[in-house]
Amino acid sequence: MYPALLHIHSFLRYLVLLLLVIVVVKSFVGWVGKLRFSNLDNKFSLWLLIVTHTQLLIGLFLYFVSPFVQFNGNTMKDFTTRYWTVEHGFMMILAIALITIGRITYKKLPNDAVKHQRLFLMNGVALIIIIIAIVSGGRGLLASSWMR
């Protein structure tokens, strides 16, 4: 079960990145162009939220069964163990929190330009954090899960 979930988690990474780039680009264009906040903007933001939360649930399961996650005296001394035990999860949860906060708070904003701005800023920072998290683990953005 672990290998299958690991492959699903790895595949969903590309869907998260794709949706995140779409939301960031659409929200930037909407913000700068002072465009109306459309139903499609709302749907992309919702799909991003759903996929990232699905990714989070699979990631949490993997965290507790992963052979890379260890809690002992050597955890912080070894790069790989520290990365998978502490850094990867922390950065990803932070990024998902930003995506979630952006999604929740834009609905309360008064006008469309500010909605686009909020989504751009929150999701843009989340995108940067996710890219840093993936690359800092010693993998490229296109690395497969079995290459760890």
pLDDT at 145 over 90: no
Considering the domain 2-147, what is its CATH architecture?
Up-down Bundle (1.20)
- 142 has pLDDT over 70: no
pLDDT higher than 60, residue 148 = no
pLDDT of residue 62: 92
- Rounded to whole angstroms, how far apart are CA atoms 145 and 143? 7
Q: What is the pLDDT of residues 78-110, one digit of tens each?
A: 888 899 999 999 999 999 999 999 999 998 999
Q: How far is the C-alpha of 5 from the C-alpha of 71, rounded, in Å?
A: 22
8-state DSSP, 78: S
pLDDT higher for 144 or 134?
134
